Amino acid sequence: MSDDVSRRRFDEARTLALSDGVFAIALTLLVISIDVPDLSARNEDELAQALVDRSGELFSWLLSFAVIAFLWVRHHGFFGDVARLDRRLTVLNLAYLGGVAFLPYPTDVLGAYGDQPAAVGLYAATLAFIAGVGGFMGVHAARAGLLSADGAARLAAEEEVMAWWLTPAIVLVAFPLSFLVGGWAALVWATPAVVPRFRRNAAH
């Protein structure tokens, strides 16, 4: 019995250590997608101009940093409500981390080809995958009784407001639209799409 409890705590501790590691690395690895300008003739105006020309890469870095940071807040909020893990939740969490670990690639493509539907579509599809798996983790945890009492109450209140498939749907439709209309608007759309769980996290 006590062996079971320590085993469970061990499983949670290592799952969270791996998860925080993947989030921290994805957040930090993003920066290597911004290329240092390569100027043959070095003069001052040119460097300043070359740095400004990288604004597409800087924007996609900022977008992905904000997205991963808010995903981490959600992940952290969700696992604070989980009392125990089962096999399926572990596998779903690994798939979720796969989406997070993959995100630097669409970010890189978006930085280089931000004006093209294929780049925006790849990015939106990755976000929708993460949001979908994340939503499904909540559904599974609630059904399988993996939540703490407090967590179950909070999640039920949240589910009245929003179905789990709504976030990926919003991301798939609204994100590309607003991105193609005007890049920075996408940041506004992406943020509410990933943060519903955030508000309640501030309650305590």
Q: Which stretch binds its own copies (CB under 8 A): 82-90, 130-138, 157-165, 166-174?
A: 82-90
> Is residue 28 involved in binding its own copies (CB under 8 A)?
yes
Q: Cα(59)–Cα(61) distance, rounded to whole angstroms?
A: 5
Q: Which stretch binds its own copies (CB under 8 A): 111-119, 126-134, 159-167, 184-192?
A: 111-119
> Is residue 102 involved in binding its own copies (CB under 8 A)?
yes
Nearer to its own copies, 98 or 165 (CB): 98
Q: Cα(116)–Cα(109) distance, rounded to whole angstroms?
A: 10
Query: What is the DSSP code string of 58-125?
Result: HHHHHHHHHHHHHHHHHHHHHHHHB----HHHHHHHHHHHHHHHHTHHHHHHHHHSTTSHHHHHHHHH
Residue selected from 41, 42, 160, 181 as contacting its own copies according to rule CB under 8 A: 42
Strand partners, 147: 82
Q: Cα(54)–Cα(32) distance, rounded to whole angstroms?
A: 13
Binding site for its own copies (CB under 8 A): 3-4, 7-8, 10-11, 14-18, 20-32, 34, 36-37, 39, 42, 44, 47-48, 51, 61, 65, 69, 72-73, 76, 79-80, 86-87, 90, 94, 97-98, 101-102, 104-105, 108-109, 112-113, 116-119, 122, 148, 150, 198, 201-202, 204
